[in-house]
Amino acid sequence: MEKLSQLHCYINGEFVASTHYFDNINPVNGQVIGQIAEASPHQIDDAVQSAHSALNGEWSKMSVNQRCDLLHKVADRMVERQQEFIQAEMADTGKSLHQVSTIDIPRGAANFRAFADMARYHHGETFLTETPLGEKALNYSVNKPLGVVAVISPWNLPLLLATWKVAPALACGNCVILKPSEETSSTAFLLAQVMDEVGVPNGVFNLILGRGSQVGDYITQHTGVDGVTFTGASKTGQHIMQSVAQTVKPISFELGGKNSAIVFAQADIDKAVAGVARSTFTNCGQVCLCTEKVYVHRSIAQAFIARLTATAQQINIGYPEDPDVLIGPLVSKTHREKVLSYYQLARDEGAQFLCGGGVPNFDDERDQGCYIEPTIITGLSDDNRVNQEEIFGPICHVSVFDDEDEVIARVNNTPYGLATAIWTENLSQAHRVAPQIDVGLVWVNTWFLRDLRAPFGGVKLSGIGREGGKHSLSFYSEPVNICIKVD
Stretch that binds ligand 6OD, among 41-49, 192-200, 285-293, 406-414 (CB under 6 A): 285-293
Q: 129-163 burial string, b = 16+ CB within 10 Å, else e?
A: eeeeeeeeeeeebebebbbbbbbbbbbbbbbbbbb
Q: Is 343 in the site for ligand 6OD (CB under 6 A)?
A: no
Stretch near ligand 6OD under the rule CB under 6 A, chosen from 10-18, 37-45, 281-289, 324-332 = 281-289
Q: How far is the CB of 179 from ligand 6OD (least distance, A)?
A: 17
Q: Shortest distance, CB of residue 54 to ligand 6OD, whole angstroms?
A: 26
User: Binding ligand 6OD by CB under 6 A: which of 48, 54, 116, 157?
Assistant: 157
Selected range binding ligand 6OD among 80-88, 177-185, 239-247, 282-290, rule: CB under 6 A: 282-290
Minimal distance in Å, beta carbon 452 to ligand 6OD? 7
Specify the residue, 148 or 289, whose C-beta has the smaller distance to ligand 6OD.
289
355 is catalytic: no
The answer to whether the beta carbons of residues 422 and 444 sit under 8 Å apart is yes
251 and 230 in contact (C-beta within 8 Å)?
yes
Q: Which among 20-28, 169-177, 260-268, 284-292 is the span making contact with ligand 6OD, rule CB under 6 A?
A: 284-292
Strand order in the sheet with 126-130: 126-130, 136-145, 477-486
Residue 208, SS3?
coil
Q: Is 39 in the site for ligand 6OD (CB under 6 A)?
A: no
Total site size for ligand 6OD, rule CB under 6 A: 10
Q: Which residue, 165 or 222, is less far from ligand 6OD as judged by CB?
A: 165
Burial of 63 (0-12, 13-18, 19+ CB in 10 A): exposed
Residue (of 219, 159, 216) closest to 184 by Cα position: 159
Burial class (CB within 10 angstroms; exposed 0-12, middle 13-18, buried 19+) of 394: buried
Q: Per the residue annotation, which of 68, 175, 288, 396 is the catalytic one?
A: 288
- CA atoms 145, 150, 155, 156: torsion sign: negative
289 binds ligand 6OD per the rule CB under 6 A: yes
| Chain position whose Cβ is nearest to ligand 6OD | 288
Strand ranges inside 379-472, DSSP E: 395-401, 416-417, 419-423, 441-444, 459-460, 463-464
From the CB of 253, what's the least distance to ligand 6OD, in Å?
12
Which of residues 347, 450, 453, 470 is near ligand 6OD by CB under 6 A?
Answer: 450
Shortest distance (Å) from residue 280 CB to ligand 6OD: 14
- Asked if 54 is part of the footprint of ligand 6OD (rule: CB under 6 A), the reply reads no
Q: Which is nearer to ligand 6OD, 52 or 450 (CB)?
A: 450
CB of 199 to ligand 6OD, least distance (A): 27
> Residues 308-337: x/- map of binding to ligand 6OD (CB under 6 A)?
------------------------------
Q: What is the DSSP string of 356-392?
A: --S----SSGGGGTT----EEEE---TTSHHHHS---
- For residue 334, which phi and psi values (nearest 5 degrees)? -60, -45
At 463 the three-state DSSP class reads strand
CA atoms of 449 and 271, how far apart (whole Å): 14
Contact status, residue 74 vs residue 198, Cβ threshold 8 Å: yes
In the complex with ligand 6OD, which residue's Cβ is closer, 9 or 103? 103
Rounded to 5 degrees, φ, ψ at 466 are: -125, 150
Give CA separation, 75 vs 146, 195, 444, 458, in Å: 23, 10, 31, 28
Check if the beta carbon of residue 256 is closer than 8 Å to that of residue 462: yes
Nearer to ligand 6OD by Cβ, of 401 and 456: the residue is: 456
The contact pattern for ligand 6OD, residues 117-156, with x = CB under 6 A and - = no contact, is ---------------------------------------x
Q: Report the residue from 176, 177, 287, 331 that binds ligand 6OD according to the rule CB under 6 A.
A: 287
Kindly tell me which of 288 and 294 has the beta carbon lying closer to ligand 6OD.
288
Quick check: is 9 catalytic?
A: no
The residues of the shown chain that bind ligand 6OD, judged by CB under 6 A, are 156-157, 161, 164, 254, 287-289, 450, 456
Please give the positions annotated as active site. Answer: 254, 288
